Amino acid sequence: MRWQEARWGLFFISPWLIGFAIFYLVPMIASLVFSTYNFTLSAPDEARFVGLQNWQRMLFEDPKTWESLFVTFRFALISLPVGMVTAFLLAVLLNSKNLIGRNIFRTLFYAPTMVPLIAAILIWSAVLNPQTGWINRVVEFFGVQAVGVNGLRWLDDPSLIYIAYTFIGLYGIGNAILINLASLQGVPTELYEAAEIDGANWLRRLWTITIPMVTPVIFYNLILSVVGLLQYFIVPWVLNGGSGYPEGMTNFYMIYFYKQAFTFQNMGYGAALAWLMFIVALVITLFLFATGRYWVYYSGDTGNDD
């Protein structure tokens, strides 16, 4: 009986298994093999087996590998907490029963997500323009010189470029807000009622009830955000063509990978770079799952592993 049920289960998930094998597993295995070859897309017949030379070059001889990885992590340290905290706090605001017109605000905050990403990036490049951008004009309204050559050059100043990119990232956090909002609405109301009877204020209820109850969703968003930031590519590519402007601050890892694999057509070396990123993402993900047991609360978890 169990074997019959298992066969039906395999039958129903077979489309996913076939798609995974064709579009993910086989290309991954192929890229691992490619990383041991030296070949270009324009001359695949001249491919030559080089063993681990691409890996040796990537890990020990090419400083740009680690420089681009460092740039990616430095940007992630700024963008990750800002994006996650902003999405959560906005979800808390949109879940408040004291907010008038909640449905309208929910729609407005989610609406930017439906704008194509390329169009959103171009819009933000105009918004952050040092001469005509409205952010500089708003800042100048408070007495700070922001407009002009000596003003705030968000996309040109190395000290401001990550803040500007984080602004652009906030434009598309509608999905994260929506997921957080759904989790907030799943918190049992009797917990809040009991806390109010005990005299707990809003901040106390947020810290001791809301956040622990939604930690599985926070954990989920954290995994997606980390993986997304490790693959950060489109914004710097659209704004400066992957030139690293200003002063190499936007030489992200995926930019370097794309140039090696497709601009220079060095597919063997590009495959090695892709596998290094996969290993880095896998290590971080496993670390987060290992530490999740100490801060992620599951209502069905009794804490007894027996």
Q: What is the pLDDT of residue 306?
A: 41
- Mean pLDDT for 271-290 is 96
Please tell me which residue, 297 or 56, carries the higher pLDDT value: 56
Q: Is 44 helix (H, G, I), strand (E, B) or coil?
A: strand
CA angle 230-232-236, nearest 5°?
150
pLDDT in tens, 191-240: 999 999 999 999 999 999 999 999 999 999 999 999 999 999 999 999 99
**Choice between 299 and 187, residue whose per-residue pLDDT is larger:** 187
**Whether the model pTM is above 0.75:** yes
| Average pLDDT for 249-278 | 94
Residue 305 above 60 pLDDT?
Answer: no
Q: What is the mean pLDDT of residues 255-262?
A: 94
Tokens of 175: 């999905």
Q: Which residue has the tokens 């926070």?
A: 218
DSSP at 61: I
Report pLDDT digits (tens) over 80-96.
999 999 999 999 999 99
What sections of the chain are H helices per DSSP?
A: 2-20, 26-34, 53-56, 63-94, 102-110, 117-127, 134-141, 161-170, 174-184, 189-197, 202-205, 211-213, 215-230, 234-240, 253-258, 267-295
Which DSSP symbol is given to 100?
Answer: T
Q: Write out pLDDT tens, residues 16-74.
A: 999 999 999 999 999 999 999 998 877 888 889 999 999 999 999 999 999 999 999 99
Instruction: Give the pLDDT score at 39.
Output: 82
Q: Note every long-range contact of 38-42, with CB atoms under 8 Å and residues 24 or more positions apart, other chains counting.
A: 38/268, 38/269, 39/267, 39/268, 40/265, 40/266, 40/267, 41/262, 41/265, 41/267, 42/265
Structure tokens at 243: 């030139």
Which of 276, 279, 269 lies closest to 36, judged by CA?
Answer: 269
CA separation for the pair 262, 164 (Å, rounded): 28
Token pair 């004009």 is found at 137
Q: Which of 261, 238, 241, 258 is nearest to 68 (CA)?
A: 258
